[in-house]
């Protein structure tokens, strides 16, 4: 009887977890369903305000807001804070999809639309579902995870084709070289897969790529 009681409790716990997961999906959709064209910006939470990439993320987010795009980030510090700040300061929609972690991540002060998540995979769906493009600023494992998940989803036609923009030639060039030398040369990926990824140091070029992906034309 005691063993059966433990099994019943475990099943009940798992069932309630499913309801929590569904609830996070509902919260995300309700917050973002009418967001309009948006760009997801990823990057390190550990960059301070005097870092050049922080300043570039701020500048890029300002330009996106001025061109009518919402900015979506992970809601934390560093690059995420810079992007949310840039969008908010230009009166744009500044979205923070914050993840609850035991350390390091707390919401920044610049997201005017904030949604908090416990489950990484629910949060990732929100990044994908509402993005016109991805901008990947320098970052660590979490940033790499978002980069390769986005490329994989596009490569396998699980989501519509959208540009994945690596910002920072000095930071990302070595990774792209390795992909070409190892993955491409050994036929682990196809030549066309490389077209998914764009590399730039120029915020204005990012805007042009995003506009083209959105079917918009520059004046």
- Residue 81, CA distances (Å) to 18, 29, 40, 75 in order: 31, 22, 13, 7
Whole-angstrom distance, CA of residue 120 vs CA of residue 192 = 29
Reported as a single tens digit per residue, the pLDDT across 64-73 is 999 999 999 9
Whole-angstrom distance, CA of residue 173 vs CA of residue 207 = 21
Reported as a single tens digit per residue, the pLDDT across 18-65 is 888 999 999 999 999 999 999 999 999 999 999 999 999 999 999 999
C-beta of residue 69 within 8 angstroms of C-beta of residue 169: no
Whole-angstrom distance, CA of residue 61 vs CA of residue 90 = 9
pTM of structure: 0.89
Q: Which helix (H) or strand (E) holds 27?
A: helix 2-32
Model confidence at 182: pLDDT above 60: yes
Q: Which domains, from first to last, does the chain contain?
A: 23-210 (3.40.50.450)
């Amino acid at each position: 009887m005691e063993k059966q009681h433990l099994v019943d409790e475990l099943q009940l716990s798992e069932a309630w977890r499913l309801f929590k997961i569904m609830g996070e999906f509902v919260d995300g959709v309700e917050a973002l369903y009418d967001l309009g064209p948006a760009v997801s910006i990823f990057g390190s939470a550990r960059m301070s305000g005097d870092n050049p990439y922080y300043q570039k993320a701020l500048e890029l987010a300002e330009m996106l807001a001025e061109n009518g795009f919402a900015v979506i980030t992970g809601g934390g510090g560093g690059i995420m804070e810079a992007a949310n700040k840039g969008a908010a300061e230009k009166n744009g929609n500044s979205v923070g999809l914050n993840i609850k972690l035991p350390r390091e991540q707390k919401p920044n002060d610049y997201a005017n639309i904030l949604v908090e998540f416990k489950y990484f995979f629910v949060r990732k769906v929100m990044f994908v579902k509402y993005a016109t493009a991805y901008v990947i600023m320098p970052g660590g494992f979490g940033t790499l995870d978002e980069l390769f998940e986005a490329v994989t989803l596009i490569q396998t036609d699980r989501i519509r084709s959208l540009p994945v923009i690596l910002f920072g030639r000095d930071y990302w060039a070595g990774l792209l070289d390795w992909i070409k030398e190892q993955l491409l040369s050994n036929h682990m990926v196809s030549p066309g897969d490389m077209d998914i990824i764009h590399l730039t140091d120029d915020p204005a070029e990012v805007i042009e790529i995003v506009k083209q992906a959105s079917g918009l034309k520059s004046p």
